[in-house]
Structure 1
Amino acid sequence: MLFDYQEFLDGIDREAYHEGEWQWEEDGYTVTRTYTYSAPGCHDSCGVLMYTKNGKLEKIEGDPLDPCANGRLCMRCLNLVEGVNYADRPKWPLKRVGERGENKWERISWEEALDTIANWIHDNLDAKGLGRESIFVNHGTGRNISSWVPFLGGACLGTPDIGAIGFSGYSCYLPRTCGTAAGIGDFPIVDASEGHADRYNNPDWVRPDVVVVWGCEPLKSNADGYLGHWLVACMQQGTRFISVDPQLTWIGAHADYWLPIRPSTDLALALAWLNVITTEELQDKEFIEYWCAYYDELKEHVAQFTPEWAAKVCEVPADLIRDAARFYATAERGAIQWGLAFDTQVDSIQLCQTVSNLMSVCGNIDKPGTNILVRNGFEINPGYATAQLYCDPDTFAKKLTVDLVHPGCTQFIGMADCDAVNRAFETGEPYPIKMFWSQGANGISCSATAAPRVHKMLEKVEFCVVADPYMTPTAVAYADIFLPLKTTAERDSMRVWWTPLRAMKAVSEWYEAKSDEELIVALGNKLNPELFQKRWPTLDALLQDYLDVGFNLYDPETGKSYKSAGRSKAGMIEVPDVHTDFWKKHHDDGTCSFKSLVEDRCGYEYDDFCATYYKYEKGLLRADGTPGFATPSGRIELVPFATFGAWGIPPLAEHVESLTMRRWMEDPEYRAEYPFICINGSRSYEFFHSENRQQATMREFHPMPLVKVSAQTAEEYDLHEGDWIWIENTEGRCRQKVHIDPTLNPNYIHAEHGWWFPEEEPAFPHLYGTFDCNINNLTASYETGQGGIGNPLKSVAAKIYKCTEDVNEPTPGEVVTKLGGFRDDYVATEPFAWTHDNTTREGGRF
């Protein structure tokens, strides 16, 4: 054993780290024990010590007394000081004075900014009989965006249309949450002891024997609230690994098995693993007998998907598929850690459900060292449903849903459907989008699929507000009003995503910037004073309500709370005994407050739910308290007939190729023209999506966007390390610098996303250079999978060639902002969706 947790704990000088104190003075600094959460940052919330002097953040350290991260920090936290103190951060609200894209602004007060917004909505929507559904609210990622921004949209602006701009299909995290909810009823994560305050010393915890790291690089991404170093600690204690990834990652280099599958063929591999497990009877028979439904139907279905079949699809040897499946299935305690790659393919929802089946048939559910089932800390669950709670029912009924653009699909996601939003922008059907609100989102640089097309959509919008800590390409291009937001060092807030419940305490101020939470209070009191002055007049009231009832509808006279259960307020259901565990534990001594969480508990509190194993045996998963799972049958539904049936999704999974990959595989001329599969969007140590590009230290480590090519490709194309090359297909092109990867398959290239250059010219046509290097110039809108889930972002066909010094050639930025884009034939009138037999409906992609 290389890692001894008790030895680590014994080595901490607890007096030097002021155990039990949340703040103290040290060497001229005020030191605050708190937690981070973007921006800038990532999806995680790590325990830190923030050192301030005269109200300015000077340095940051990991807190070894924090059981969540144990003092370990990645580059994003260690370099937080640069992001917080970035000299060109906007200091106060701004109003555009030139044309859009000219980057000409004047300083205004918050009062003027909010009045301008309120007056525009009144004069251009309310007074003209246009509904608030004509406002679209766009969010980025991190910072509790599934709660704060939908709440802002519904309670402040009164719109049901909240989501991601240009993000065809629900292609981020939701496929995994929905895919597992359908079969298991709850969300599984790898048990690396993170549910316990005493972590690796917990007597009930046992490290996993085998972990499959599938479609992610957790050390770089720390994705979805999961810290990569947790897996390294397991490795040091003896856990062995399988890596499923087209690229050789650090985990892959240390794994017993590496399966470099062809991008977006993950479902074929998962079906083949189930074939091996069921035909060789490697399943956990007792767990299946007592706790699973439809095993025989699953076994019969996967009998056709042999390793030999999958080998042809995935382009890895059948024996390797078979051996890796056995290695996982025969482990006493196996677990699967998955990533965004699961969400970015057209068979996404069935892939996520199928891989949850792998966990289930092997009995690797909610026992120590497997995939444990988790929920938000103390059941504080504000999410997209908050928009429905406070939006006018008639307005909410007009929400842009998936069936409007993908016939046969059923809306079962809280956010507005991405393609329905795209179509409303482009055609005005079923109603026009008049106002665009972007919060913490740099859409055209990062999330916008078919970025040039999205630019065409947004340049036509009548009124745009951008709220962000930094001036971004999206802000320069479209904003009429810019609202400066605080960073993690300046905000009072909480993180409830899994456990523990964590608090962020402001340690500094940045001029007139407001936090997301302060903006909600200010905007709500301006636009919806009757509600806000009664319930959320101040930030303190908002934070306490978040803890008390999670923004649910609440009747203080009866003590009853209600949440959404449909598309109208008639569908509200009562929530009994809100946050029972937290309040029973703390209410009597009066410490159930944000202040107490910060000062009395040093910013965190673990609940019992995520620390408890075998919850299905103990009646902790079902609302009625009976043993079983939170599914219609009470069992894990290996074939989710009821739920997938209600959602219009075939319950028996089959691998589907995207339209592009189908053509790439079947059309020799097309493949000759575009010989590479371009993998898009993998993470780096320095950046989180489009964040941190303005930090000098990060750029010293990673100055320019890199496209990986194989050594064979470099030789064939006469490419050298650092050469600029064009990446191009039928949708558009961009340029990035060559990085030669000798382990990469010669048929693949790998390009980075989220790039822009804050040090360069912001005004049109350059726009911080964001379109010049944007790999989303090559992606397409309106192709999605079953249920309107998934989009093929990580398997794009492309060609490459060297950049030349042709000064007369327009840059991609000029093509997009001045010349109308790479295509002039976009059509947003023909529906597209996969049918139940995985053929395309008439009309093809938009």
Structure 2
Amino acid sequence: MTTREVPTVCRMCHGGCGALVTVEGERAVSIKGHPGNPNNAGFLCAKGRASIEHAYHPDRLRQPLRRTGPRGSGGYRPIGWDEALDEVAERLAAARERDGAESVVFAQGTDRNYQEWLFRFANAFGSPNVLGPAHVCFYPRVMAGILTLGGFTFCDYEHDPEVVVVWGSNKAATHGDGVIGTRLLSAVSRGTRLIVIDPHRTGLAARADCWLPLRPGTDAALALGLLHIVIAEGLLDKEFIEQHTTGFEQLRQHVRDWDPRRVAAVTGVPAQLIVRAARLYGTAGSAAVELGTGTAQHASSFDTARAAILLSALCGNIDRPGGDVLWDPQPIIGRRTMPMSEALPADQAAKRLGADRHRVLSMSGWAHPSAVWRSVLDEDPYPVRAMAVFGSNLLVAYPDSDRVRRALGALDFLCVTDLFLTPTAALADIVLPASGWLERDQIVEHANYVAARRAVTSVGESRSDEEILNDLAGRLGLEGFWDSARTALDARLAPAGTTWRELADGYYRPTELRHFKYRERGFATRSGRVALYHEGLLRMGYEPLPVYEPPIRHLRAGEHLLTSRHSRFYFNSEFRNVPSLRAKEPHPRLEIHPGTAAAEGIEDGDWAVLEARGHQALFRARVTDEVRPGVLCAAASWWYPELPPDRSWRISNVNRLLRDGDENPAMGSSTLRGVPCTVRRAPDDLVAACLDTARTEWADELP
């Protein structure tokens, strides 16, 4: 049996570390970090090391399935690929013929490098409705960057920022947005100083020069306070402001009243600490801001992202070495052109669900989830009849999970493509088995390079999402696709003058990092300058300057502020069925301050019940001073793969406690941070009843 070592790029999380996979015959047998990859230099986290265990998991879906019992019962029979794809194509075409292409929604979870494929398919099909967690994830930052300075920025760790602001992100553990935390840690080891803004004392916060433990959801108020200080104390790059920005005087007037005392009262961060952080940032020779999803999950998400960009601009850190560098992608058919947005007619784009209220989100191509559920359940503004879901466990991914369940149950047709029979997949009419990252050839487009992810094995009859979408496109006669997903690889790389084989043989092509690009061509905005004050937003009916939206209501007696965070052993809702990872964190955690725990009669290790909006969820308490007093930090996206499908997502799902809101006007971001909530010790009999794996009935013990 031949043994070979294949260089590839991990996709067990959003980052994409370099990996070396040892393959014996047709089976992957071991994996380690690739020491020659500049992203991670040989490091591989617990999730990456579990890749092979995940790939060959006995519960993997290995062939297409058709539902046989009631929706949600989990009753299925195997069918062939041709039969499955024919039926999916027929049902999607029938829905389009009956109610228009907009009646079909295409959904996905975290981008696994096929996001652009899904958009391409939806646009060619004629549907404006692509559903994803964009409004509470990456896209408040993306759209803030595009509207403010014409592009998206990333932190330039290659040139050792003097200061990095890590804001609502635990970058060292989560590796989000294609930027690996090891790059940040390497910069810190070389002398980069940290300002960490987070209600939780993360490992990075423990190493920071300044840790600002703000109240969840008050990020925009803090951002306005930082802008106030750097302007008031003249910690500015005056030349950049004069030559490359518009609206400075309006901004100066706007933040005048956000003095440190007022900001401290709103955020709970001492005024002197706010001033210290602003001075540390404002006097740095170079500084970068690393925004995480913690800043995107409240009513002021878009404003927080805009304010962070304005702070970077005022201090001259845009597109400079060690600053916030504008992404300049390689000329492949990739993130910017692969979606083929020009294929969607303007009259169809105008029908995008949520576009009437959340125009900035709609500009990015995404439908708003609350509007999707309303369209399914109430046929407002038109009916949604069918949905095709790729790699998303919707029941634990969106607020008001019970409403999501009602909507999925009301669809005429639901198809889910996934690796496992998740509770969402268990509702589908057709289930398609997706391949894992070890089983597919993909182009990986990072800030720093374009790389090859190479297939090294296969499991059952599983197929990549790209193959499935390409085959469906052929059956539906959609234009803009290829003979095969393999052919597409060469076609997408052709504009860069290379082929898939050349890229795979070379492993990756570095992207030239160029600075001060605006000096040659200005910024890609209407004025060619950074829009501190945004006339376009004003014309769209939004605030032209960042604002802070206070909470919907204040705390009542006995309530605390609920927030959440992801575990470093899981990725969103994934991997709780992987034994080596589940052993590291077997239960959903609730992190609670000792003072708060004592007041509620909760001890470390107790099971606790959280309650909000008339719903309850069960978590195991970890009493720690790593969180602020009065803050409850719950595990996100939790479900129990060992329980029956319709019970597995109800018990410890924090999203059941959260309102399916659209509080941010521009992006429609729901308030997932700083939500009023109560907590109490859970009775032992309730815990036993909920978690008893031997029970066969699927009734939920919690309201």
- Using the size of structure 1 for normalisation, the TM-score is 0.79
Pair 1:358 & 2:262 matched:
no
2:458 matched to which residue of 1? 509
Distance 1:296 1:381 in 2: 39
Pair 1:149 & 2:118 matched:
yes
1:462-611 aligned at under 5 Å gives the runs: 462-476=412-426, 478-528=427-477, 531=479, 536-548=482-494, 579=495, 582-583=496-497, 592-599=498-505, 601=506, 603-608=507-512, 611=513
Contact 1:269 1:310 in 2 (8 A): yes
1:174-323 aligned at under 5 Å gives the runs: 174-193=139-158, 205=159, 207-323=160-276
Q: Deviation at 1:713?
A: 2.0
1:672 matched to which residue of 2? 557
Q: Deviation at 1:215?
A: 0.9
2:363 matched to which residue of 1? 412
Distance 1:444 1:485 in 2: 19
Distance 1:118 1:232 in 2: 47
Pick aligned residue for 2:551 from 635, 645, 658: 658
Q: Deviation at 1:505?
A: 1.0
Distance 1:297 1:393 in 2: 35
Distance 1:595 1:360 in 2: 41
Relative to structure 1, is the Cα distance of residues 733 and 140 closer, same or farther in structure 2, using a 3 angstrom cutoff?
A: same
Q: Deviation at 1:473?
A: 1.0
Pair 1:47 & 2:18 matched:
yes
1:368-767 aligned at under 5 Å gives the runs: 368-378=321-331, 380-382=333-335, 386=339, 388-391=341-344, 395-403=348-356, 406=357, 411-445=362-396, 447-476=397-426, 478-528=427-477, 531=479, 536-548=482-494, 579=495, 582-583=496-497, 592-599=498-505, 601=506, 603-608=507-512, 611-617=513-519, 619=520, 627-641=521-535, 643-659=536-552, 662-664=553-555, 671-673=556-558, 675-680=559-564, 682-762=565-645, 764=646, 766=647
Distance 2:122 2:360 in 1: 25
Distance 1:605 1:418 in 2: 37
Contact 2:417 2:432 in 1 (8 A): yes
Pick aligned residue for 2:53 from 72, 76, 82: 82
Q: Which amino acid aligns with 1:647?
A: M
Q: Deviation at 1:122?
A: 4.5
Residues 678-736 of structure 1 deviation map (CA, whole Å, 9 limit, x = unaligned): 112x2221111011111111011111100001111222223222211100012411101
- Matched residue of 2:467: which SS? helix
Q: Deviation at 1:44?
A: 1.6
Relative to structure 1, is the Cα distance of residues 804 and 84 closer, same or farther in structure 2, using a 3 angstrom cutoff?
A: same
Q: Which amino acid aligns with 2:81?
A: W
Distance 1:211 1:793 in 2: 25
Distance 1:812 1:78 in 2: 29
Q: Deviation at 1:451?
A: 0.6
Contact 1:57 1:508 in 2 (8 A): yes
- Matched residue of 1:43: which SS? coil
Distance 2:337 2:659 in 1: 26
- Matched residue of 2:609: which SS? strand
Contact 2:434 2:462 in 1 (8 A): yes
Distance 1:820 1:527 in 2: 45
Distance 1:292 1:759 in 2: 55
Contact 2:601 2:680 in 1 (8 A): no
Q: Which amino acid aligns with 2:109?
A: G
Relative to structure 1, is the Cα distance of residues 312 and 434 closer, same or farther in structure 2, using a 3 angstrom cutoff?
A: same
Relative to structure 1, is the Cα distance of residues 314 and 407 closer, same or farther in structure 2, using a 3 angstrom cutoff?
A: closer
Specify every segment of 5 or more residues in structure 1 that has no aligned partner in the other structure, as ranges.
1-26, 194-204, 549-578, 584-591, 620-626, 665-670, 823-846
Pair 1:798 & 2:702 matched:
no
Residues 98-132 of structure 1 deviation map (CA, whole Å, 9 limit, x = unaligned): 11222111111001101222333355552xx3212
Contact 2:651 2:690 in 1 (8 A): yes
Relative to structure 1, is the Cα distance of residues 271 and 246 closer, same or farther in structure 2, using a 3 angstrom cutoff?
A: same
Q: Which amino acid aligns with 1:114?
A: L
The more displaced of 799-808 and 289-298 is 799-808
Relative to structure 1, is the Cα distance of residues 688 and 258 closer, same or farther in structure 2, using a 3 angstrom cutoff?
A: same
Distance 1:114 1:260 in 2: 51
Q: Deviation at 1:377?
A: 3.4
Q: CA RMSD in A?
A: 2.4
Q: Which amino acid aligns with 2:671?
A: P
Relative to structure 1, is the Cα distance of residues 387 and 100 closer, same or farther in structure 2, using a 3 angstrom cutoff?
A: farther
Relative to structure 1, is the Cα distance of residues 223 and 407 closer, same or farther in structure 2, using a 3 angstrom cutoff?
A: closer
Distance 1:108 1:696 in 2: 29
Distance 2:361 2:685 in 1: 50
Relative to structure 1, is the Cα distance of residues 775 and 210 closer, same or farther in structure 2, using a 3 angstrom cutoff?
A: same
Q: Deviation at 1:500?
A: 0.4
Q: Deviation at 1:96?
A: 0.9
Contact 1:707 1:739 in 2 (8 A): yes
Pick aligned residue for 1:106 from 77, 81, 94: 77
Relative to structure 1, is the Cα distance of residues 637 and 409 closer, same or farther in structure 2, using a 3 angstrom cutoff?
A: closer
Aligned length: 700
Q: Deviation at 1:375?
A: 3.5
Residues 310-332 of structure 1 deviation map (CA, whole Å, 9 limit, x = unaligned): 01001111111111111110111
Give identity over the alignment, percent. Answer: 30
Distance 1:747 1:139 in 2: 35
- Matched residue of 1:176: which SS? helix
- Matched residue of 2:105: which SS? strand
Relative to structure 1, is the Cα distance of residues 391 and 267 closer, same or farther in structure 2, using a 3 angstrom cutoff?
A: closer
Contact 2:135 2:668 in 1 (8 A): yes
Q: Deviation at 1:514?
A: 0.4
Contact 2:93 2:476 in 1 (8 A): no
Distance 2:32 2:256 in 1: 53
Distance 2:605 2:45 in 1: 26
Relative to structure 1, is the Cα distance of residues 96 and 506 closer, same or farther in structure 2, using a 3 angstrom cutoff?
A: same
Q: Deviation at 1:795?
A: 1.5
- Matched residue of 2:678: which SS? strand
- Matched residue of 1:372: which SS? strand
Relative to structure 1, is the Cα distance of residues 408 and 539 closer, same or farther in structure 2, using a 3 angstrom cutoff?
A: closer
Relative to structure 1, is the Cα distance of residues 658 and 329 closer, same or farther in structure 2, using a 3 angstrom cutoff?
A: same
Distance 2:117 2:218 in 1: 35
Residues 765-817 of structure 1 deviation map (CA, whole Å, 9 limit, x = unaligned): x2xx2210000011111332132432211121110111114469985999x98
Distance 2:594 2:314 in 1: 41
Contact 1:160 1:387 in 2 (8 A): no
Distance 1:795 1:694 in 2: 30
Contact 2:662 2:668 in 1 (8 A): no
1:196 matched to which residue of 2? none
Contact 1:150 1:384 in 2 (8 A): no
Distance 2:337 2:606 in 1: 44
- Matched residue of 1:714: which SS? helix
Distance 1:456 1:258 in 2: 42
2:649 matched to which residue of 1? 770
